[in-house]
Amino acid sequence: MEIAALKSVRIVLVEPAGPLNVGSIARVMKNMGLSQLVLVKPHCDPLGEEARQMAVHAADVLEAAQIVDSLPDGLRGCQRAIGTTGRPRADTVLEHPRTALPWLLTDAETALIFGPEDRGLSNDELSYAQRFIGIPANPMYPALNLAQAVAICCYELTQVAEIERPDDRASELVPLRDAVTSEPPASLDVLEGYYQQLEAVLLQIGYLYPHTADSRMKKFRRLFNRALPSETEVAMLRGILSQVEWAMKSKAD
């Protein structure tokens, strides 16, 4: 199965603990035509015997997996990211996978993020995503195994890609554009640089306090993640912050 739109979708696993799960995920990714696997601080050996046994003929997916130290590193270069969670969170709208996952099928790098087996994604980790999905399940026992959750989402992605692919010609993929500026949205790592500068400036001017900064910044992240600003717009926002920093320094001098 070779579908161009699936090549740019990353499956990002945060701190996976089970080599059997990692191997099973590599296998189902290859089954469904996905190839980009990112492991954030894995707590297991993704190339060990157990992982390879479960991967079977998808050892190439394991061997090509990118291992990173943080979630922002795993999302570097991505313009869209969806986080998965098994329970509703405050200020988080959970969507059905069938509704949200087609949003990842673009000509740009995108990511689908899964949390550790024992806890799922934390609120901090979810703040790096722009949309959120939950897999409907029996409310008496809604918890899914990590590999099963990834398999369901990979299947849904493949079904949409099969329906929408334009005769397998990647050149006909609809570009990811911002409706107002006609520019593609800034990548998530460009946005992350802005968030870091914004937090520093807001702490300096007293809008944020160290003990409340984390919760307030989550709200700013959600706001800008929904807005999908372009790189030019992010540069403009950072220019404003730089001018504020300059004015404060000049006043202090």
Question: What are the residue ranges spanned by the domains of the chain?
Answer: 4-172, 188-252
188-252: CATH class: mainly alpha
Task: Please state the φ and ψ torsions of residue 10, each to the nearest 5 degrees.
Answer: -95, 135
**Do residues 40 and 72 make contact, with C-beta atoms less than 8 angstroms apart?**
no
What is the pLDDT at residue 14? 98
pLDDT at 180 > cutoff 50: no
pLDDT at 175 > cutoff 60: no
CA dihedral for 200, 203, 207, 209, sign (positive or negative): positive
Comparing 162 with 213, the larger pLDDT belongs to: 213
- Among residues of the chain, what percentage have pLDDT more than 70? 91
Query: Quick check: do 4-172 and 188-252 share a fold?
Result: no
pLDDT at 173 > cutoff 50: no
Q: How confident is the model at residue 92 (pLDDT cuts 50, 70, 90)?
A: confident
pLDDT at 5 > cutoff 90: no
pLDDT digits (tens, 9 = 90+) for 131-172: 999 999 998 898 899 999 999 999 999 999 887 654 443 433
The whole-angstrom distance between residue 145's C-alpha and the CA centroid of its chain comes to: 19
pLDDT at 37 > cutoff 90: yes
4-172: CATH class: alpha beta
pTM over 0.95: no
Amino acid at 25: I
What is the pLDDT at residue 164? 62
What 8-state DSSP symbol labels residue 107?
S
Rg for the chain, CA atoms, rounded? 19
Contacts of 96-102 spanning 24+ positions with Cβ under 8 A? 96/133, 96/134, 96/136, 97/133, 97/135, 97/152, 97/153, 97/156, 98/156, 98/160, 100/131, 100/132, 100/133, 101/133, 101/153, 101/156, 101/157, 101/160, 102/160, 102/164
What is the pLDDT at residue 212? 87
